[in-house]
Amino acid sequence: MPALPLPLTVLCQLACEPSLLPRVRMAIAAIAQEVFAEDPSTAGYPLRWNLAKTVLSPTEAQASSMMPGLVMSPPMLTAAAATGLTEPVAMAAAISDEQLLSAVRQGWNAVSGVSPSSAGPQQAAT
């Protein structure tokens, strides 16, 4: 893994930022809806669908538990670094909804338990 674009303390503060949590909950619900619309022959679909069913109405605890992995995902690391900020409230506000949705999409397989070797190229776009 290449060097992190921000110190771990800054990334930890972002992962714990309360103002980002409601947006993460909405992003999880939005991606769950996308997964429900997937073709059932999609690689890893049963696991992806089960996660979607489980988090369709994500609780604060579910969203909080996903925050560290979400913040450490390549799309969020890039988005956080691109803000040029280190203060968590300002950084969270500067991350766009599309950047947040992209990070949740990218992390869906890992959270659902789909093996990277079983997920085909189609999964990367979901």
pLDDT, tens only, 48-66: 999 999 988 888 888 899 8
Q: How many CB atoms lie within 10 A of CB 53?
A: 11
pLDDT, tens only, 6-33: 999 999 999 999 999 999 999 999 999 9
For residue 40, which amino acid is it? P
Q: Is the dihedral of CA 92, 19, 86, 13 positive or negative?
A: negative
Q: Give the list of residues 6+ apart from residue 62 with CB closer than 8 angstroms, or none.
A: 28, 54, 55
Averaged pLDDT for residues 32-54 = 95
Per-residue pLDDT, 120: 59
pLDDT, tens only, 66-114: 899 899 989 999 999 999 999 999 999 999 999 999 999 998 998 899 9
Confidence of residue 115 (pLDDT cuts 50, 70, 90): confident
CB 109 within 8 A of CB 76: no
According to DSSP, residue 3 is labeled P
* DSSP assignment string, 16-82: T-TTTHHHHHHHHHHHHHHHHTS-TTSTTHHHHHHHHHHHSS--HHHHHHHHHHHHTSHHHHHHHHH
Confidence of residue 119 (pLDDT cuts 50, 70, 90): low
Per-residue pLDDT, 125: 43
pTM: 0.83
Per-residue pLDDT, 99: 93
